[in-house]
Structure 1
Amino acid sequence: MDESNFVRVQLFAQPEYIKTSLIRGWKVSCTAYNSDTGYVWQDIGNSTICLAFSGSLDSSAFRQTDNKFGVGNINERNDCFESMERALVYKEALTKFSDIWNDNLKAQVEKALKTGKSVLFTGHSIGGGIATLATLTSLRKLGKDAPVFAITYGFPLIGDEVLSREVRKQGWDNHFFNVVLRSDVFARTLLAPCESVCSPLEALLPYWQRSAKQMNEDDKDILMEPVEWGFAEYLSTVVQHAREVVEFITLTNMEAAKKLIASLKLAVELSPYRPFGYYLFCSAKGALLVENSETEVALPILYYSLASGQDQASISDHTHYVTVFNANTNIINLERRQILPLSQGAPYSAMEILLDFLEFGNGRIFHANTSIVNLEVLPIHPLQQGAPSSATEFQLAS
């Protein structure tokens, strides 16, 4: 890899570059909803070409599935993932990707890379899933040093544990960046069986897509329509199944529970979707940047933050990503990873304190009179002048 490409790969891990990419990627993702081709191609500066995919999804997509969780083999209807033949992915995203990823689009990507550009694949909702697949096939062909990246908004899960392990094995994690709002229920929907959520989604998907077509960088709020969706039941269903997945993952890290795990696998079919890459969990107070690891730390945060959210926000958050990209946003990079304990009597950890402070918790830890002075090694990346320079300062300054 030449030096210029190496610099661009490394820049993706820098806070200012992340923020710029997030804002510009979001803007292009919004315009993709109004594209007849299903994608938008745009030069966003910094020697970067952005390819954004539409997040439009048929309202019956979760009803018309071949299996409980809507998965399909990653090589179905395409020849883009030959080395990943055992991996399963969300089939609807794969179908849309196979329809869009034609010779003409591949040629445009190759041309941009040959001229020294980086390519940012992005998308909101299922468009993020398509962007992830486009990045995967590009990395498979070009290798881990290729200047191609994915930023997803509200669609942080796409494949199973086989795919997650393959990404880690190949060293591709730093090419995937998933942005999730604290209460966005759709971002966790694949953790629940398709049949259990298909009815509310038949009403919600058209609403979200109408809202998405109106989104742009100036949107501050999108009013919810006065329609009965049964979203409280939808939220509780997703939270319940997300908790089951997290409890199962927690058990897999306990040696004494190995036999129990084996019996559970036979008795219960849980969601197969597993995270990979980086995750940016956002709230009104800031953002938590997490690199997923063997312990799958992103899954507990996906569950924990949704379970502590508000019902109405769980619906509106799916189209409110623009609200967190502002001059006052700080990103805390959580270097020390651990599974969040789910029991009420569990000791508080630095992670729990940070989650609570950033409004990911349920208010049981952080109070006005609490002074936090020992937060382990949790550096904060300031994205504005005058921002606190450490995680501890960030807490005490508030």
Structure 2
Amino acid sequence: MIERRNLSEAIGMEPDLVTKVFSLAMEVQSKHDRPYLSRKHSSYSIFAFRGSGTIEDWFSGKSFGDTSIGLKEIFPFLKRIGNDQIALINGNFFQQFHNILEEFQFSDEVNRAVSEKRKIVFAGYSSGGTIAIFAAILFLQRNRIHPLCVTFGSPLVGDQIFGHALRRENWAQHFVHFVMRYDIIPRVLLAPLSSIKGELQTFPPCFDQSKLESNAISSFCEIMRSALSIASHTACSFMGCTNSLLETVTSFTELSPYRPFGTYVFCSEGRMFTIKNPDAILQLLLYSLQLSNGEAVADVAFRSFKDHLGYQTEFNANMGTKDVVDLEHLDLQLPLSSGGANSSEMKSIEMVIKELGLSTRAMLCLSAARESEQQKQRNQRWVEDNRKKIEDELRKLQEYRDTAEMHKIGYYDAFKLQAEPEDFEANVTRLELAGIWDEIIEMLKRNELPDGFECLEDWVELGTRFRRLMEPLDIANYYRHSKDKDTGAYLKSEEEKQPRPKRYRYTQRWLEHVKGKPAGYSESCFWAEVEDLRVQIHTSNQKENRDAAFEKVKDRVLKLEENVRQWVEEELLRGEVFFEKSTFVKWWRELPERHRMESRIASLMFMVGSG
């Protein structure tokens, strides 16, 4: 369905506020002695940032000026949780924002506005919008109240992980990006510096059509060629295309990492179109700027630059009367041909096609983007359907653990011995659970689940229960079959070479992220550390050699003992760890006597040593 709303319904901002925000965003462009301005309007405090016009301030170092350096320190949330992959951002825009934090009283001004219980709006025109984005993210990290971030003709600032992280935290809804249909600036960073350097020296270029140089037309074509490569590659990926040509193309064609996020408002012919699906936005950034029948490249190139200077006309006092069309639920299953339509729905779609200049191919790509998002929802329903199976299998392992404890043998040691039929049945359960969770992790790696999945409280809790109950069995199986002799210790410092399965690394990071815990090996890896230390210390039959080996790993032993004390207090380690015949007790009692007498857990071992 085509859904029409007024501007305040569409983006949660009154037209008068948008006009005030835009006016300040334009005013600050002339303030060369100050990178931002602040102003009060009604119950709001508006902070608008000045952009930079030189190409050197947009690109640096790499072809697209992207970097992850320094991001983790200021924006620790901007990453994928499971594999701890940090987002990429434009390094120059980030540095400009960092300079504002260091050289001006920006944070103090924002804090004063908050103390006055004012609503916060960050804004920017052109590259000033990228600074506003960083300011809003920093504010979201530090405050419980949510700001608004409004940009006008802003270039892209971060990669797919950047947008994913903001959607995962439910922050993307606070960002609104206004884009004139033909404005080239939101598309500029889709092209590498090498393709436009020396041709466009300043942004935005102030010229009329009579002064349009051929190199500007060439830059326009290069930007659109790069945008087409990215949009086509992305569309093929979420259409499920497996053509090896895609990989061949990316091997010699450098694709921009930048991707859109938040709510985009495309402005065209006095009408506005809103959309939130990032894949669909990427397609619209390309296809809404394609040539129409009879249009010359020079004409469209000219308009693409002039549109960046045309926001003033769009954002006037009458903007509240403009029709706002929500494209998020556009029924793209209707016939794509514009001929012979007689229904109001088809006429509405004809209007969208005409005003945004969308070809049949564009409509197909938009339809695929929408279908990709819907498939993520279906995948999550599949995952939810497996919840009962997971919980049933976990109950079986809990019963197995309880039975082992009744016989005064921990379920870790029982599973490692595999002496009883119950041990075999537990192994079957372990394999079934591993299969389900491995499929969930693979979906996450392929970006086939909604962005917010890893932060869902019930799945973080279930993943934590699964990890704490299951991982000791995987560790027991690993050392029972002496896999450490072939592939090394279960825990390694090299992330990609760790024998530890991703199903445990991912679920551990979910908990660390949601609870704000520091990264590190967890209580579910307790047995892996015990086993490796046992190998390191007790492989020699000669006491003097064992003492020397102990000294080499003494710091690790002390750290483990400190963790044991803490985990016992937090009830994360059960009494089975201290059973007389447990692997841990037998290993600890073979440590040097002097160390055992001075150990922080000596009293603990004495009290519970008998089980």
With normalisation by structure 1, the TM-score equals: 0.74
Deviations 1:72-112 (A, max 9, x none): 11625x83212326111111211111111247211211221
Q: How does 1:168-247 map to 2 (within 5 A)?
A: 168-202=167-201, 204-205=202-203, 207-208=205-206, 226=211, 228=213, 230-247=215-232
Which residue is equivalent to 2:63? 68
Which of 275, 285, 288 aligns to 1:302? It is 285
Give the C-alpha shift of residue 191 in structure 1.
Answer: 0.6
1:121-178 deviation per Cα after TM superposition (whole angstroms, max 9, x unaligned):
11111100110111111112225xx231111111151100111110111001211001
Which ranges in structure 2 are unaligned for 5 or more consecutive residues?
Answer: 1-6, 80-85, 293-299, 339-344, 363-611
- Contact kept? 1:196, 1:237, Cα under 8 Å: yes
**More helix, by proportion:** 2
Q: What SS does the aligned partner of 1:332 have?
A: strand
- Shift of residue 15, structure 1, vs aligned partner: 5.7
**Does the Cα contact within 8 Å between 2:155 and 2:188 map onto a contact in 1?**
no
Letter in structure 2 aligned against 1:283: S
The corresponding residue for 1:30 is 26
* Residue matched to 1:41: 38
* CA drift at 1:193: 0.7
Task: Please show how residues 95-134 of structure 1 align to structure 2 within 5 Å.
Answer: 95-102=95-102, 104-134=105-135
Partners of 2:239 and 2:315 lie apart in 1 by 39
* Pair 1:333-2:326 in alignment: yes
Contact 1:135 1:150 survives alignment (8 Å)? yes
Q: State how 1:386-397 maps to structure 2 within 5 Å.
A: none
Pair 1:83 & 2:84 matched: no
- Report which stretch shifted further, 300-309 or 150-159: 300-309
Amino acid at match of 1:132: I
Higher relative contact order (CA 8 A, sep 6+): 1
Give the residue type in structure 2 aligned to 1:299.
L
CA distance in 2, matches of 1:301, 1:73: 27
How far apart, CA to CA, are the structure 1 residues paired with 2:179 and 2:291?
Answer: 15
Deviation at 1:24, TM superposition (A): 1.2
User: In structure 2, the residue corresponding to 1:281 is in which secondary structure?
Assistant: strand
- Ranges in structure 1 where 5+ consecutive residues have no aligned partner: 1-10, 209-221, 366-398
CA contact (8 A) 1:278 1:290 kept: yes
Task: Report 1:362-377 matches (<5 A).
Answer: none
TM-score, length-scaled by structure 2: 0.50
Q: Which residue of 2 aligns with 1:58?
A: 54
Aligned partners of 2:225, 2:203: CA distance in 1, in Å? 21
Note if contact 2:10-2:274 (Cα within 8 Å) is conserved in structure 1: no
Give the partner amino acid of 1:205: F
Q: Which amino acid aligns with 2:325?
A: I
- Change over 3 Å in CA distance of 1:265–1:16 after alignment to 2: closer
Structure 1 residues 134 and 225 mapped into 2: Cα distance closer, same or farther (>3 Å)? farther
Q: Does structure 2 retain, via aligned residues, the 8 Å contact 1:161–1:274?
A: yes
1:320 aligns with 2:310: yes
Q: Does 1:281 align with 2:266?
A: yes
Total equivalences in the alignment:
330
Native 8 Å contact 1:156 1:275 kept in 2: no
Query: Does structure 1 conserve the Cα–Cα contact (< 8 Å) formed by 2:204 and 2:305?
Result: no
1:362 deviates by 6.8
- Whole-angstrom CA distance in 2 between matches of 1:364 and 1:265: 21
Matched position secondary structure for 1:179: strand
- SS state at 2:236 partner: helix
Q: What's the CA shift for 1:56? A: 2.2
Q: 1:206 to 1:346 in 2, by over 3 A?
A: closer
> Residues 278 and 206 of structure 1: is their aligned pair in 2 closer, same or farther, counting only changes over 3 Å?
closer
> How far 1:179 moved relative to its partner?
0.7
Identity %: 25
1:268 aligns with 2:234: no
Equivalents in 2 of 1:87, 1:338: separation in Å?
33
The alpha carbon displacement at 1:252 in A equals 1.1
2:49 & 2:308 partners in 1: Cα distance? 16
After superposition, the Cα gap between the structure-2 partners of 1:196 and 1:316, relative to the gap in structure 1 and judged at 3 Å, is same
Seen in structure 2, the aligned counterparts of structure 1 residues 164 and 359 have a Cα distance that, compared at 3 Å, is closer
Q: Pairwise CA RMSD of aligned residues? A: 3.1
In the aligned structure 2, how far is the partner of 1:90 from the partner of 1:291? 22
Name the structure 2 match of 1:159: 158
CA distance in 2, matches of 1:243, 1:289: 22
Query: In 2, Cα distance between the equivalents of 1:105 and 1:360?
Result: 42
CA displacement, residues 187-219 of structure 1 (integer Å, 9 cap, x when unaligned): 2001111121122221x42744xxxxxxxxxxx
Q: d(CA) in 2 for partners of 1:150 and 1:290?
A: 16
Tell me how far 1:304 sits from its aligned partner.
Answer: 0.8
Q: Which is higher, the Rg of structure 1 or of structure 2? A: 2
- Contact persistence 2:159–2:257 (CA under 8 A): yes
* Aligned amino acid, residue 307 of structure 2: D
Counterpart CA distance in 2 for 1:160 and 1:120 is 24
SS of match in other structure, 1:111: helix
Higher strand share: 1
The match for 1:252 among 233, 237, 258 is 237
CA distance change for structure 1 residues 134 and 360 in 2, over 3 Å: closer, same or farther? farther
